[in-house]
Amino acid sequence: MSKVKTSYFCQNCGYESPKWLGKCPSCQQWNTFVEELIQKETKKTNASADWKEYNGETGLKKTVSLQEVVTKDTPRIITADPELNRVLGGGIVPGSIVLVAGEPGIGKSTLFLQMGLNLLGLTTLYISGEESAQQIKMRADRLQIQNGDFFLLTETSTQTIFAEIKKLKPELIIVDSIQTLESPFIESSSGSVSQIRECAAEFQQFAKETNTPVFMIGHITKEGSIAGPKVLEHMVDTVLQFEGDRHYAYRILRTLKNRFGSTAEIGIYQMNEGGMTAVLNPSEILITQKEDSLSGIAIAATLEGQRPLLIEVQALVTQSVYGTPQRTVSGFDLRRMQLLLAVLEKRGGFHFGVKDVFLNIAGGLKVEDPSIDLAVLVALLSSYEDQAVPHNICFAGEVGLSGEIRAVNRIEQRIAEAEKLGFEKIIVSRYNKGISKNKYAIEVVQMGQVAEVYQYLFQS
């Protein structure tokens, strides 16, 4: 008889305790402990325990000196998706394990089904615990991609999954999703902390010992964090967050952790009938092509990761009907906008205290780059004065509490992107030193105070 033991796990962070606790000592959350049954056995006699003969390697492990370790440059697997290659740091690293999380219906399964189908000549196994083979086939038919090396397995038991893996010997595995799998060595239900941790550990062992890359699709909680224990993020090599508003066509694949590349990269996609399409030049799409000059619109030169973007900031300032004026934002920090309104009140004498203010970042993006401050401020002033900003001007600058325009980093990338899209002027901070204006066709205007920008745009 196997020895059965009861443990209590924090559903927020995965902390294990032999008894129930009201408050988790690790994450300080209340009432998060749930009892789970754990079956302890002598590890492990099933197919996942021994991968020595999987790819012809002996699997012998011994202590070696660091000087004896021979490094070899393993080529990455380059996918047909340039945005995914960018986010992963140049392609899929053999033996890596990647966790992808996002809201329900955002397009995670579609993106990675499409990625697997496009890897022609590479044996790919798609493991689904959520959908039937018929559902996946219907989605693949919509994508209109034919691949004879793409295989499906609809199963939740890891013992059966690893037995099938030994038969097929795939070169890439996609798991959709890790929360639906269950290991026979744990008696708790699928989706519990102990099951997620055990299943992820089995796939981690498989990936490292066979040098086979594994993509694990995961769920998120209602707070937006990745569901399951925090140790899940520590176990994997790369964590990707797939985000965006499902009511908009655009999605952002953002890197939260990457052992093989930068965590500052993002990939931008557009959802359409044929699946996820990589957006190679997002600035052209995010800026509205309009013939008439409209007030309350300014273009900001921002950065998302290593990529410069030009985005449209829309503001609407109206007379407040009620006693307390409204402050509504979409895609921007509300407290940051209130700070900019206070700067305009104090330093410029504009009476926003009796106005309703609405702010929107076009395209459904959420921007945290402080260099967007100047464009937000100009859009607010444009709507306040009901004067349109010339459509050939864009902005890049952070605004301080004293009304000064502060310097932002990598200004030359922003200027080059604005020049590429045909803008004639860009207003930046006077404190950005070392800008060689002669090498740009665009006119670079440097200013130090918000008052200077107001006079230049609305009083000249």
Percent of the chain with pLDDT over 70: 92
Question: Domain residues of the chain, as ranges?
Answer: 1-42, 79-278, 285-458
Q: Which two tokens stand for residue 73?
A: 């440059």
Instruction: Please list the residues that pair with 395 across neighbouring strands.
Output: 300, 427
- List Cβ neighbours of 89 (8 Å cut-off, separation of 6 or more): 258, 260, 261, 262, 265
Residue 184 marked as a ligand binder: no
pLDDT at 45 over 60: no
Q: How far apart are CA 377 and CA 443, in angstroms?
A: 21
- With beta carbons less than 8 A apart as the criterion, state whether 238 and 260 touch: yes
Instruction: Please list the residues that pair with 295 across neighbouring strands.
Output: 388
Helix residue ranges, H only, 169-280: 193-210, 231-235
pLDDT digits (tens, 9 = 90+) for 129-148: 989 999 999 999 988 888 88
Q: What is the pLDDT of residue 56?
A: 56
Q: What is the pLDDT of residue 4?
A: 62
pLDDT at 52 over 70: no
Q: What is the pLDDT of residue 448?
A: 93
- With beta carbons less than 8 A apart as the criterion, state whether 259 and 61 touch: no
CA atoms within 13 A on the CB side of 397: 29
- With beta carbons less than 8 A apart as the criterion, state whether 216 and 177 touch: yes
Whether the bond into 177 is cis, omega within 30 of 0: yes
Give the residue with greater pLDDT, 59 vs 226.
226
Closest CA to 302 of 389, 372, 407: 372
Closest CA to 457 of 381, 352, 351: 381
CA angle, 315 as apex, 312 and 320 as ends, to 5°? 170
pLDDT at 60 over 60: no
Residue 164 marked as a ligand binder: no
Q: What is the pLDDT of residue 58?
A: 45
Backbone phi and psi for residue 410, each to the nearest 5 degrees, phi listed first: 50, 50
Q: How far apart are CA 348 and CA 450, in angstroms?
A: 8
- With beta carbons less than 8 A apart as the criterion, state whether 378 and 268 touch: no
Q: Say which CATH superfamily domain 79-278 falls into.
A: P-loop containing nucleotide triphosphate hydrolases (3.40.50.300)
pLDDT digits (tens, 9 = 90+) for 210-239: 999 999 999 887 777 787 777 888 899 999
pLDDT digits (tens, 9 = 90+) for 304-319: 877 888 999 999 999 9
Residue 105 marked as a ligand binder: yes
pLDDT digits (tens, 9 = 90+) for 431-440: 998 888 888 8
Residue 106 marked as a ligand binder: yes
Length of the chain: 460
Cα 50 to the chain's mean position, in Å? 35
**Residue 312 parent element (H or E):** strand 307-319
Residue 187 marked as a ligand binder: no
**Residue 341 parent element (H or E):** helix 334-343
Q: The pTM is what?
A: 0.76
Q: Provide the pairing of β-strand 297-304 with 393-396.
A: parallel
From 3.30.230.10, 3.40.50.1000, 3.40.50.150, 2.40.50.140, which CATH number describes the 285-458 domain? 3.30.230.10
| Cβ count near 439 (within 10 Å) | 10
Q: How far apart are CA 155 and CA 167, in angstroms?
A: 15
Residue 62 marked as a ligand binder: no
Residue 401 DSSP label: T
Residue 95 marked as a ligand binder: no
Burial class of residue 134, CB neighbours in 10 A (0-12, 13-18, 19+): exposed
Residue 104 marked as a ligand binder: yes
Q: What is the pLDDT of residue 212?
A: 93
